[in-house]
Amino acid sequence: MQNLFKKIDDGVKTVFESDRYKDCLRYMSKFTNYSAGNCILIMLQKPEASLVAAFGKWKQLGRTVNKGEKGIAILAPMTFRNKQSENEDEEEQDEAETRTLGFRKVYVFDVSQTSGEPVPEYVSDLDEDIEEEHVEAVISAVRSVTGLPVDVENISGGAKGYYSHSEQRIVIQSGLSGAQAVKTAIHECAHALLHDPDKKLPTADTTRSDKEVQAESVAYIVASRYGLDTSEYSFPYIASWSHGKQLEQLNRFLNEIQGTARIICDAIDNELTILAEEITEEYNESNVLAM
């Protein structure tokens, strides 16, 4: 256990002290349901991993772990029960129970380490020529998780978009390509989720540069998750930005952006699934009418 925690700490330091930050975000985009620390553990043990699950989960999916495969060790949260005796008389012993949150080591396996039924395909990829209904699905996801209207209008000054706390809305520049509109919406969504002062979040009480790094990092993870071009994203000042920050701060930072990316990805997945079902239903109905 101590070795796993040390691996995470060393991995976090390496991420911020080198040019590996974008690589780490790209890797985290594959595993949005895992904590940043577990993403780092997976990356260190099996860099080529693309889809991991526990032995039992693969069994549920009709797949088995290949003989001789070595598991990937990660940390799973759990609650320990501690019993404290309040009376030394065993016959009248009244035990008080306390609970402590901790972690235990568990093992997961990559899909490449398994065989069996085909892995279910999920709606995920969006190419650069995103159709209008897919753009609207992402916008709908942003509305859903933020509870804010998303308006498309002309913005003076050259900004692609902005989140306004005072106006309680997100604005996207009109005339953007579908891909750019999606990435801008995700960036501003991250601001709304992380930096709303009314929610009294720790992330809201940070500098402007901190907020931009967080929002851009979230947008990078989500864009990578859906196969969008991320070449325009740049973090040239990440090393200087992280300089002087404590390891605990950097760990918290990675978990904050990963948690926010997970919320957005779950909402987008939901909207894209609904859209796919609607398209399939329309297709089936049109075929019935044509017969």
Q: Which two tokens stand for residue 220?
A: 């990078």
Q: Where are the beta strands (DSSP E) in the chain?
A: 52-54, 63-65, 72-85, 95-110, 114-116, 150-153, 161-164, 169-173
Q: What is the pLDDT along the chain (291 residues), one digit of tens a residue?
A: 788 889 999 999 899 987 789 999 999 999 999 999 999 999 999 999 999 999 999 999 999 999 999 999 999 988 777 665 555 555 444 444 566 678 889 999 999 999 999 987 765 567 677 889 999 999 999 999 999 999 999 999 889 999 999 999 999 999 999 999 999 999 999 999 999 999 888 899 888 989 999 999 999 999 999 989 999 998 988 988 898 889 999 999 999 999 999 999 999 999 999 988 887 776 566 555 555
pLDDT at 93: 46
Taking the C-alpha atoms of residue 269 and residue 253, their distance in angstroms, rounded to an integer, is 24
Q: Over 151-211, what HEC string results?
A: EEECCCCCCCEEEECCCCEEEEECCCCHHHHHHHHHHHHHHHHHCCHHHCCHHHCCCHHHH
Q: Which two tokens stand for residue 164?
A: 């306004």
Question: Left, alpha or beta for 98 (phi > 0: left; psi -120 to 50: alpha)?
Answer: beta
pLDDT at 2: 84
Q: Which two tokens stand for residue 93?
A: 């012993």
Residues in the chain, overall count: 291
pLDDT at 125: 65
Integer-rounded Cα Rg, in Å, for the chain is: 23
- Our measurement of the distance from residue 212's CA atom to the centroid of its chain's CA atoms, rounded to an integer in Å, reads 17
Contact 189, 213 (CB under 8 A): no
pLDDT in tens, 94-151: 444 566 678 889 999 999 999 999 987 765 567 677 889 999 999 999 999 999 999 9
Contact 212, 236 (CB under 8 A): no
